[in-house]
Amino acid sequence: MRPVCKGEIPYKEIRQYGDAEPYLEERIGAYCSYCEMPIKHVPEVEHIESRSKGGALTEWDNLLLACKYCNTRKSNLVAKGEKENYLWSDEDDTFHPYSYSNGIAQINEEYLKSTDSDYAEHARKLFELVKLGNVPNERNKDRRFFWRNEAYNDAVDSKEGWIKVRETKQKSVFLKNMIIAAKNSGFFSTWMEVFKDDEEVKRALIDEFNGTRKEIFEE
Ligand SMILES: [Zn+2]
């Protein structure tokens, strides 16, 4: 899950929480803050602590962007005061506790062994909250799995091409186009996983996906 930086509060006051949408989109890109799917329609402004359970309605700290699938699953499960029981992509390291090998979202158990137990528990709770690892069946309309898989295949294909050109003059044009493709297909962490041994591509992904919290990726 891509860790994001929303920056300082961009407004003095907004009347409706939906008015935060353009600010969020400009700062962190039109991607779901949970599953990382690109959102082609207007993204839904998501309340971290549910507005029906006392969460602040228009407070910048309580807002993220979400796709319909994550927003629906999260529903009103996080009440006011319960935020601290989970990790959040705008505050915590939400990149390392999950893995996306073969385009499938999973808990990174190996990593969580090295962290403190609260952090590990909060990471698991977030994963469960939005059902990040959901694999849909026939009746299940959840498209996140499908689109992540497409992004995974795009990344694998791109990597094959990249390996052929990275020692040649076409390298920089190829890299530029590859990043455009990545931003179109979304699923930042899946691309990062496919290129996990390639510092140059990872650096470009981190730099070019707007609002990615860079310090999470520094040693
Ligand atoms: Zn989502």
Q: Residue range 5-13: average pLDDT?
A: 94
CA of 143 to the centre of ligand 1 (A): 9
CA of 4 to the centre of ligand 1 (A): 14
- Distance (Å, whole) CA 85 – CA 122: 6
Q: Are 49 and 56 in contact (CB under 8 A)?
A: yes
CA of 195 to the centre of ligand 1 (A): 22
Give the start-to-end residue ranges of the domains of the chain: 17-129, 144-210
Note the pLDDT of residue 53.
97
pLDDT tens track for 83-140: 999 999 999 999 999 999 988 999 999 999 999 999 999 999 999 999 999 988 888 8
Q: Fill in the DSSP letter of residue 101.
A: G
Binned at pLDDT 50, 70 and 90, residue 43 comes out as: confident
Higher pLDDT, 219 or 78: 78
pLDDT beyond 90 at 219 = no
Q: Residue range 65-79: average pLDDT?
A: 95
pTM: 0.95
How would you classify the pairing of strands 98-99 and 106-107? Answer: antiparallel
Share of the chain above pLDDT 70, in %: 100
CA of 134 to the centre of ligand 1 (A): 11
Positive or negative: CA dihedral 187, 205, 192, 22: negative
- Distance (Å, whole) CA 22 – CA 1: 21
CA of 144 to the centre of ligand 1 (A): 7
Domain 17-129 fold is DNA Binding (I), subunit A (1.10.30)
pLDDT beyond 90 at 207 = yes
Note the pLDDT of residue 205.
98
Note the pLDDT of residue 150.
96
Note the pLDDT of residue 98.
98
Note the pLDDT of residue 139.
83
CA of 199 to the centre of ligand 1 (A): 27
CA of 110 to the centre of ligand 1 (A): 24
Mean pLDDT score across all residues of the chain: 96
